[in-house]
Every structure is written in C-alpha cells, then in structure tokens.
C-alpha cells in the first residue's frame, strides 16, 4: 500500500457535478457548528488472585503497582468537543477540536495500575490530573471529506477506544467518501497514537500484545457496502509499518420474523502476516468469529464461536481495533490456536415498567491454546503460552439511562467481571468491579 495515495483516485472520480450533495447544502462554518461536553466518572477495582501470580511468564510482565494483588482507581474525565460546519462553495473548509481532562479522585497505596484510568509518572505513580488537546482541519467536496490532524477514527483495523476515562486519538489523514449509493470508501495514513491515559502525543502506537519494537506509521483502506437495512459487508486492508499486513472481512445479516422476533448473524474475519523488518517476529494468523442472535420482545439470546489459527495471538494496533465476538471485558480469547464459545443474554427492562434499564449476562470459555510454536525471537515469546491453555470469563452488567427531565441522557452502569484460567494461557485470574456515570451535554452555536 502506498499510503494515502491509493485513496486519492477516489476523489478524482467523485461525481461533484451533481446538484444534491452534502457540500451543496452547507449553511456555513458557524451555522452548522456544534459542541458537546461529556462528564464521566469511573471507579475500577481489580482483585488479582494469587497476588497476580498465575504463572512465571505472566509474573514477568505484571506491572509493578500490582504487587499487592489489587488495582483500584477512581477518576473524573471531562471531554469537550467542537465541530464546525463547512464553508460554502465547491470546497468546504472546517475544523474539529477537542480538549480532555482527567482528574484522580482516589488511588493510593500502590493500587493504581492495570485499570489504566489514570496517567502515571516515570516511577509508576498516578498523577493527580492529566490533560491533552488537539484539532483537525477538514475539507469537503460533494460527499467526500478529507481530515488531517488529531482525530478519532473507527474501523476494524485501526480504531480509537473509549472504554476507559478518556478516549484514544490518532494523528494523521483520514478520507471518507460517500459518493456512491450504498457504498462508503475510506482510507487513512497515521503517524501517532495518544493512548487513553496519555498526557502527551509522542509515545508512538499502542500495540496490545507484542513487546517488539514499534513501527512508525499505519496505513489503511476499506469499503463498506450496505445493501439494505438488514445486510451489510465490509472489507479492509491495512499495514503496520515493518510489523504486519492485516486484512479484514466482516458481514452482518439480520431478518425480522415478525414485530416481536428477529434473527441475525455477525461474521468477523482477520488475516495477519508479518511484513518488512517483521519487528514482532514471524506472524501467520487467521482469526474469525461467528455470532447468531435471536431477539423476542425484550429478550435477546446469543451464541458465538471464535477460532484462532496461528502460533501467535491475534494482535492489533490501537486499543479499539478488534471486532471479533469474544473480545470481551477481561480477555480477548485470542491466544495461539485458541478456540472459544460464548453465550449471552440481554434483557430490556422497559417491557417490565423500567424504561432505560438494560441487563446483560455473558459467559465465554476458551480452550486448545498452544503457543509452543511461537517465534522465540519475536514479540510474543515473553507471554509464555504453553500447550493446553484454557480459561473462562463471566460478565454481568446493569445499565440505566435517564429518560426525561433535566438529567435526561445521564447513564449509570455497574459491571462485575470474573476471569479464571490455567498457567498455559497468558491472562491473570481477576475479579473486576466497575462503576461509571456519564452526563452528556450538547448544542449548536
């Protein structure tokens, strides 16, 4: 892939002459502008069983702050976002900007660590507060937008996570074209990743499992086809410089049986191979998942299967770029040669007189892990995968969204997660309790 240049022909063939498009309907830079503020408070407690010592290999990379077997953090996050409209004319110009602030509410006695809510100093101690800000310039012609700067992107191969106190952001180019009906084309070139608890932008990319030397850039291109409300498919290709090429195929099919019942299928497939200098070692990995869902009124039932083919775990750059079904709260169930299944139940309590309340119960079991063929000189040998690895996870969650009044949109959630495994897999035994409150505010100028 030759970076963003592969995507530029998309712009060249765009039917800009058409009268009706997004840019022709622009009201102006200020007139179409909007802002939002999200207040978020998160309490995260993790109790690592056996003092966080489930195996010799895992003990080698256990953060120093988890020596007492616990990680406990409570923080407040404030996220302000401004999105301008586009200037009028053939080429519209706009700006998106954001400012984030994280504040420590409680964490001490060596309890800060793997919860990763708070920024830490060079000695591993949590900072009392941390912040960062950024902006991106955007250009629009017809229904095609090119954005350059710090931004949040969501694709299956490179995606900003928002699962902690503050969101992850990227620096680079991103092109999105909606010129063709039912087909969206995207491409990107990125040179920096600011992690969720980062207070600066100069730390390279966040890679989730490899401890190999980092590449300096990520390139991607993709196509999303939406044939109908019940069927969509997407195809992506990406390159993490001198580390891997990663391709993705995804599809969703849903069908309403009647007003109360529906069924759906979700397929996700990744193919990853090493490239260039192979900074993380030899990689030859195919990982896929398939989930079936049945909904009847307020009840939802899901069964899923996931499988990893390859002697390395399925890895991904950036914290959110994993769309496989069994990537859940405490584990991704992505060990070498791992097989896993899931069962899930969702209940909408609105049908029982409590609108806004949703309950979820999830169980995932993984087995057949075999990492004995991992490249001994690569970025995954330190994980210490053995043969016959197995583990399980149970997740329970209650989420309530206020339905009216001045607090409309405020969300409360409580989650309890349990993970257990043997020493041939690379995840810690842990119990997690997570409480979160979110209060969104938004408006126009």
| Pair of tokens at residue 347 | 């209940």
pLDDT tops 60 at residue 165 = yes
Higher per-residue confidence, 20 vs 80: 80
In this structure, which CATH number among 3.40.50.1000, 2.40.160.10, 2.40.50.220, 2.60.40.10 belongs to the domain 3-444? 2.40.160.10
pLDDT tops 60 at residue 9 = no
- What is residue 111's predicted lDDT score, i.e. its pLDDT? 56
- pLDDT-derived band at 6 (thresholds 50, 70, 90) equals very low
Q: How far apart are CA 375 and CA 378, in angstroms?
A: 5
Among residues 260, 239, 257, the alpha carbon closest in space to that of 248 is found at 239
C-beta separation of 81 from 95 below 8 A = no
Cβ atoms within 10 A of the Cβ of 150, count? 20
- What is residue 256's predicted lDDT score, i.e. its pLDDT? 96
- What is residue 203's predicted lDDT score, i.e. its pLDDT? 79
At 366-390, the pLDDT tens digits run 999 999 999 999 999 999 999 999 9
pLDDT tops 90 at residue 333 = yes
Among residues 207, 227, 326, 224, the alpha carbon closest in space to that of 272 is found at 207
Lowest mean pLDDT across 59-68, 333-342, 408-417 = 59-68
Work out the mean pLDDT of the chain and round it to a whole number.
90
Q: How far apart are CA 146 and CA 144, in angstroms?
A: 7
Domain boundaries, the chain: 3-444
Q: How far apart are CA 316 and CA 271, in angstroms?
A: 11
C-alpha distances (whole Å) from 425 to each of 176, 282, 347, 379, 420 are: 40, 20, 32, 16, 10
| Pair of tokens at residue 369 | 């892990």
pTM of the model: 0.91
Among residues 177, 224, 170, the alpha carbon closest in space to that of 195 is found at 170
Cβ atoms within 10 A of the Cβ of 324, count? 26
C-beta separation of 57 from 3 below 8 A = no
- What is residue 67's predicted lDDT score, i.e. its pLDDT? 45
- pLDDT-derived band at 17 (thresholds 50, 70, 90) equals very low
């Amino acid at each position: 892939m030759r970076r963003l240049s592969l995507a530029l022909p998309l712009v060249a063939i765009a039917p800009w002459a058409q009268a009706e498009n997004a840019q022709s309907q622009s009201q102006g830079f200020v007139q179409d502008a909007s802002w939002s503020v999200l207040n978020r408070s998160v309490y995260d407690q993790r109790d690592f069983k056996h003092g966080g010592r489930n195996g010799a290999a895992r003990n080698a990379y256990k953060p120093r702050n988890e020596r007492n077997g616990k990680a406990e953090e409570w923080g407040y996050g404030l996220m302000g976002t401004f999105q301008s409209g586009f200037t009028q004319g053939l080429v519209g110009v706009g700006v998106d900007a954001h400012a984030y602030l994280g504040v420590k509410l409680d964490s001490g006695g060596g309890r800060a660590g793997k919860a990763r809510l708070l920024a830490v100093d060079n000695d591993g101690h949590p900072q009392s507060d941390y912040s960062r800000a950024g902006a991106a310039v955007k250009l629009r012609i017809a229904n095609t937008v090119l954005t350059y700067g710090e931004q949040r992107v969501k694709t299956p191969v490179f995606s900003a996570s928002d699962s902690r106190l503050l969101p992850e952001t990227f620096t680079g180019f991103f092109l999105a074209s909606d010129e063709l009906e039912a087909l969206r084309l995207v491409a990107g070139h990125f040179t920096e990743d600011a992690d969720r608890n980062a207070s600066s932008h100069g730390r390279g990319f966040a890679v989730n499992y490899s401890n190999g030397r980092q590449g300096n850039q990520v390139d991607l291109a993709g196509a999303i086809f939406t044939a109908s409300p019940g069927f969509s498919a997407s195809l992506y290709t990406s390159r993490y410089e001198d580390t891997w090429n990663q391709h993705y195929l995804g599809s969703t099919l849903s069908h309403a049986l009647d007003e109360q019942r529906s069924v759906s299928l979700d397929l996700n497939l990744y193919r990853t191979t090493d490239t260039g200098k192979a900074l993380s070692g030899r990689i030859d990995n195919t990982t896929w998942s398939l989930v079936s869902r049945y909904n009847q009124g307020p009840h939802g039932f899901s069964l899923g299967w996931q499988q990893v083919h390859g002697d390395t775990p399925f890895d991904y750059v950036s914290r959110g770029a994993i769309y496989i079904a069994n990537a859940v709260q405490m584990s991704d169930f992505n060990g070498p040669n791992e097989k896993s299944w899931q069962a899930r139940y969702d209940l909408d309590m609105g049908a029982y007189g409590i609108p806004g309340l949703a309950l979820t119960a999830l169980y995932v079991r993984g087995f057949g892990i075999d990492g004995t063929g991992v490249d001994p000189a690569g970025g995954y040998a330190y994980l210490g995968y053995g043969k016959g690895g197995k583990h399980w996870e149970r997740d329970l969650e209650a989420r309530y969204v206020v339905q009216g009044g001045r607090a409309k949109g405020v969300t409360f959630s409580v989650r309890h997660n349990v993970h257990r495994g043997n020493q041939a897999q690379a995840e810690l035994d842990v119990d997690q309790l997570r409480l979160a409150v979110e209060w969104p505010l938004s408006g126009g100028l």
